[in-house]
Amino acid sequence: ESALEPIPPEIAKHNSVIKQMHRNKKSLEYLLLDKSIHFDAMKTLQDKHKRGTPDLIHITLLNIIATPLYKNNLLKIYLHTINNNILHIHENVRLPKSYSRFELLMSKLFRENIIEHNNKKLIEILNTDLDGLIAKINPDIIIGLSSKGKINNCKKISKKLYEYNNPLLIIGGFPHGDFSQNTVKK
């Protein structure tokens, strides 16, 4: 349910979106929903409190790919978006540190469904939803990190994950609110 998405069609004609298109000399499909720019336009969107923070996703992904787990191919990254897309960040991907370059990369991904370099898949949108992804991964435990959950420290969570062969850790990628009921059930 991460807050990463293209501009939703229902706000495409809002002044803040049109101004951004003119200012950046880009068409709509090159823009991501961003609360800092589209705050007024987002007032009518469902779950607006959970949307429009792609910078949060950028920072989170940069931190994850910097870990020894990821660098040693011991961690797979899947990003479930608010629109129920599943993005797979493949192994050994170096994401741009610059947010503006990350934004361009993500808008290209939403347009083309895949980012490749030298015939190697780097990031792709999978043809599945969260239920399909969980079925594909077939984890032996699912742990969700939520503000409504039991308070634990990182060391305890790490030890718990280490007890299993194929654990799945779900982290909320949104600024406010909680997981949807469908995610909580998992």
Q: ∠ at Cα 31 (108, 10), nearest 5°?
A: 120
pLDDT in tens, 35-94: 998 899 999 998 888 898 999 999 999 999 999 999 999 999 999 998 889 999 999 999
pLDDT in tens, 92-114: 999 999 999 999 999 999 999 99
Q: Following DSSP, what letter does each residue of 11-56 receive, concatenated?
A: GTTSHHHHHHHHHHT--GGG-B--HHHHHHHHTTSTTGGG-S-HHH
44: nearest Cα among 30, 55, 28, 33:
33
Q: How far apart are CA 135 and CA 123, in angstroms?
A: 20
Using a cut of 0.85, tell me whether the model's pTM lies above it: yes
Residues 6+ apart with CB under 8 A from 85: 125, 126
